[in-house]
Amino acid sequence: MESVGAYFQANPAAFTLLAISLVVLILYFILSKLIKMAIIVLLVILLGGGAYLFKDPASTSDKIKKSVETFKTGGEAIGDKLSRFWQDTKEMGSKVTKVPGEINKLLDTADTDAKKEFKKK
């Protein structure tokens, strides 16, 4: 094991090539699996769409239009919710930044009140 380490210390170019080769090999296997999965998903979608078309070919265009409208409406609703969420987050952020100052004011007034009470006694 020491001889392997000594070899790579003596030849850093060989170590670099080995590291690059291993990274490329790992990426190849990962990407090949992803490409295969994407092809299978695409085939399943096409088969499902084909079965849907053969089931009722006359009203397919109407169903597609309805699906697109539903998708647009859902997208708009999600966009509205996200914008409201963003606005609420900004409002809470501004409130959170004000809290330490308010706490300091309350502590200062309590401190002055305590000093007044202490001076009275």
- Do 63 and 106 lie in one domain? The reply is yes
- Do 51 and 81 lie in one domain? The reply is no
State how many domains the chain has. Answer: 2
- Do 69 and 105 lie in one domain? The reply is yes
pLDDT tens column, 19-77: 999 999 998 888 888 889 999 999 998 888 777 777 776 676 777 788 889 989 988 99
Of 55, 72, 91, the residue that ends a domain is 55
Name residue, tokens 């979608």. 45
CB atoms within 10 A of CB 79: 10
pTM of the model: 0.36
d(CA 91, CA 97): 10
Top-confidence residue, 24 or 97: 24
- Do 63 and 8 lie in one domain? The reply is no
Structural domain containing residue 117: 59-121
- Do 76 and 120 lie in one domain? The reply is yes
- Do 79 and 30 lie in one domain? The reply is no
Query: Which residues neighbour 53 within 8 Å (Cβ) at sequence distance 6 or greater?
Result: 60
- Do 63 and 51 lie in one domain? The reply is no
d(CA 17, CA 9): 13
- Do 15 and 31 lie in one domain? The reply is yes
